[in-house]
Structure 1
């Protein structure tokens, strides 16, 4: 009898709750908003804030159920978001400028700038006769097809006035890049400075002894680089999700800056097989080299200097010979940034 009574009571409770939901006296519980994010590359130290935000429940607090996948290049992330395969990406803003010029109505948009200094480089060996851009003429340069430096090479060549017709550009697998350069199978390679440097370390190559870098930024290409980008559809249909996403990542960046080791713990939990020592050094170098532009003290991390961004847009449009110059708001939208007092204005206390 007790069992039957309890069963009847449970049934009555369920019916009562259903009635209350229908008449609006209590609110039904909705599932978190599912989002898919693609990274710039395979799992590495400089992605620590994404994994820490997930581990600490920052995304969940914002009502987001975020799935994070590794990527195949900063430029590829732009196309992956534009196609609708992903809602969010960590990708190269310059590739986005290029895409927005050709597809202004469906291009993703940047909402939180992370790499404020240009990391793009061409690496050569220290015994090479290549010391400046003009020395690249007649040489073979290799890189992954979606590498940001390779994609921006036409712009770099235009600014430095080198003859690209005499240069052979070879597409290679990312895992082969540093070894092929070290063995002399190619004359130079494209990449991000810290990607090449620390991948060389992982391959047993001393980058300080063996490598030399021709940095795009040293030749007038003061470009931004990787930003958090989101689909136009997400901006239009769920701006609160975009705002919460940015807020969660901003919190996690602050946490990692305060204690990089907790960020590395989150990365190692995601990918236990990576070399923690090397990835910790890669994270530190990324913070120092790629995120630490002087403008940070004025605009704060996540934001942009609008004049500098307009100049960057002009550089990319001119170098690629693009017919349409995207509006700044098409490339980057500042509406989703956290309040000024919550953002980061110095990477070091």
Structure 2
């Protein structure tokens, strides 16, 4: 009987040891928490981020990702710089500006989602402003932080007219398109897929608009990119790799089926207009994601020579004191394999 109790004691001790080992192993495999902020509200273009989270692609990479809405690219960069967020989607040119004004920040873009800036000049077709030179002497409206307004000198230079020849009216984003629809201003700047659809909501059809996308008029600026805090890059490179792998998978699914992808925006925010956001997503994909360069080189990457020209354009347009190095601001080391990033 005593021997039986001794054997039972050994068995219980063995089982307890195994349980401790298992619990320790499970603890070691807890997902890495990442805080991510968008550049703007939950709208169509945010679909691949929300899809990746909802379908468990981030979780499959050992990541627990929280996704918050933003209030502009400059704010998104600041959120990462402060350490409040690990990663963000932000206009690459806002990162260029931040780095020039805060040398040594070491924040880097790791995935270029928008191969071109979506910035555009939008006007009513009846106004006859069909060419950049027609804007001279006109009044344009935009928020002071608007990417199109800040990059307007690059647009003007590429089209041989003086950027000082236009007058600016600083407005809140909520009334920008309203002013144009009412004819109170001659034109506005903004992201094409934002302003065009906002104009439609105010009763002006796309067919009644002139839309001058900057990239169609000689401007080489890159657009929105995923940026990461230097501490995350240095201490958790596998987390960055995993995030991009999951996101890239979601982008390709979004391209293949944007209608399905847009439903994840609706699931995130029940108040959004699904039809409107599906159109916004499709416009973004067509205009700035599925580009000839992306088809040739794959999603997420850049070309070194164009990158440096793009940064030089930004520095000149924003009147920056220095021209940052492309190699310092864009880090391709964490991108998925090129074969996994190719699109048709």
Aligned twin of 2:185: 186
Aligned twin of 1:224: 222
Partner SS, residue 214 of structure 1: strand
C-alpha RMSD of matched pairs (Å)? 2.6
Q: TM-score, normalised by structure 2?
A: 0.88
What is the distance in 2 between the residues matched to 1:224 and 1:116?
5
Q: Which moved more, 1:263-272 or 1:336-345?
A: 336-345
1:249 aligns to 2:247 (yes or no): yes
Q: 1:83 to 1:135 in 2, by over 3 A?
A: farther
Partner SS, residue 91 of structure 1: strand
- Summarize the alignment of residues 235-274 of structure 1 with structure 2, pairs less than 5 Å apart: 235-274=233-272
Q: 1:117 to 1:126 in 2, by over 3 A?
A: same
Residues 75, 147 of structure 1: 8 Å contact kept: no
Aligned twin of 2:48: 49
Deviation at 1:165, TM superposition (A): 4.2
Aligned twin of 2:274: 276
Partner SS, residue 211 of structure 2: strand
What is the distance in 2 between the residues matched to 1:275 and 1:285?
15
Residues 181, 202 of structure 2: 8 Å contact kept: no
Q: 1:84 to 1:170 in 2, by over 3 A?
A: farther
Aligned twin of 1:206: 205
What is the distance in 2 between the residues matched to 1:136 and 1:322?
25
Structure 1 residues 47-93: Cα deviation after superposition (integer angstroms, max 9, x where no partner) = 11100000011111122221111122234322332232322111111
Q: 1:323 to 1:204 in 2, by over 3 A?
A: same
What is the distance in 1 between the residues matched to 2:27 and 2:316?
53
In the alignment of these two chains, the number of paired residues is 334
Deviation at 1:45, TM superposition (A): 1.3
Partner SS, residue 66 of structure 1: strand
Deviation at 1:260, TM superposition (A): 1.9
Deviation at 1:111, TM superposition (A): 0.9
Q: TM-score, normalised by structure 1?
A: 0.87
Deviation at 1:134, TM superposition (A): 3.5
What is the distance in 1 between the residues matched to 2:316 and 2:222?
16
Partner SS, residue 27 of structure 2: coil
